[in-house]
Amino acid sequence: MAGTGSEITISFRTLPYFPLRSAWTARIIEFEWLRHFRDVQASGPFEMFDHTHSFQAENREGRTGTIIHDHVVYEVGVGPLGVIADALIVRMLLRQMFTYRHAATARQLEN
């Protein structure tokens, strides 16, 4: 089981459909069972990346479930070029990544 101090490394494409891949390592720095966990980038594409996943039980239409919230603070780095890259592509790619992850989580939990 992952917990505080655990590290997770993923491989990702730096640009969609681009064949080169990079590694991104996150370190869990906070963990509270059934409430939240927080990870920060140990190494990867950002100057800084701080991500908190929080979970909240909720009842809807007679069914009990969980609401997942993601709060992300990041800096692309590389000065003005990073600001431009963030506005043109990074923010969109992050939004797509979280949309995909939330849909994949929902599919897994439906089974």
**Cα distance between residue 44 and residue 47, in whole Å:** 8
% the chain with pLDDT above 70: 98
Q: What are phi and psi of 41, to 5 degrees?
A: -70, 125
Higher-pLDDT residue of 16 and 50 is 50
* 27-81: pLDDT as tens digits: 999 999 989 999 999 999 999 999 999 999 999 899 888 889 999 999 998 888 9
Mean pLDDT of 6-27: 90
Q: How many helices (H) and strands (E) would you count in the chain?
A: 2, 5
Q: Tokens representing 106?
A: 């929902």
Higher-pLDDT residue of 48 and 2 is 48
Question: What does the pLDDT read at residue 39?
Answer: 97
The answer to whether the pTM exceeds 0.75 is yes
